[in-house]
Structure formats: structure tokens, C-alpha cells
Amino acid sequence: MSESPFKGKTGFQRVLNALGYSIDGIKAGWDNEAAFRQVSLLAVAGIIVAFSVHLPAWGRAVVIGSHLLTIIVELLNSAIEAAVDHTSLEKHHLAKRAKDLGSAAQLACLTNLAAMWALAIFGH
């Protein structure tokens, strides 16, 4: 078992290190994952639209939160895929299940996003 990258780090230095690792993760997602780029661009466009159209504050908040959730879920889905592929590139039903479950989570998230847009637009 390898040593934690946080071992011996405390206080503000630990926070700075964690921020650096998070930025590295975002860069890796952008550089290596087309789906991450797609949901990120969708989020940017959606957030711009949310501020450009007349929405109640609660509607704007749930739409923006839902866009951010799609980014979070895609990062987790990409992490699952990378971990599975690192373990083995050989086809296995459990590897397929893990990848399919990550994909299903993103589908649920995108369905939620569409529902939140509909609620924000038509629900007031």
C-alpha cells in the first residue's frame, strides 16, 4: 500500500496540496475525456443562459446546481472508467457493470438537468 500524498502535511499546506490535485484532475478530465469537455461546455452555455433569461432566483439556483452536478458525476464516471481500465483491459462482466453504472448515473443526472430546466421555466 502506498503512502498517502497528505502524509505529514497539515493545515494550509494540506489545503494547497489538495487544491493542486483537484486542478490536476480537472486538467486530466479536460485533456482526456470528451464527455467531460461536453458537459463542461454545456454547463458554461447553460449557466450563461440561466443568467440571460428571466428565471426566479430558485430556478436559476437549481439549474446552475444541476449543471455543476453533471460535471461532478462525469468526473466520477471518468474516474471509475480509468480505475477499471487500469485494473485490466480484459473484458469482464464486473468491469462492464461498473462502467455501465457510471454511465447510468450520468444519464440520471442529465435527465435531472432537463427536468430542472423545465421546472425553472414552466414552474413559476
| Binding site members for ATP | 14, 21, 33, 81, 90-92, 99-100
Report the percent of the chain where pLDDT is more than 90.
Answer: 85
Which secondary structure element, helix H or strand E, spans residue 4, and what is its range? none
Sign for the pseudo-dihedral over CA of 51, 55, 61, 63: negative
Q: Average pLDDT of 53-75? A: 97
Higher-confidence residue: 12 or 27?
Answer: 27
74 annotated active-site: yes
The domains found in the chain, sorted by start residue, are 11-122 (1.10.287.3610)
The DSSP call for residue 102 is H
Q: Which of 70, 74, 78, 95 is the catalytic position?
A: 74
Flag whether pLDDT at 36 surpasses 90: yes
| Binding site members for a divalent metal cation | 33, 81
Q: How many Å apart are CA 38 and CA 53, to the nearest integer? A: 22
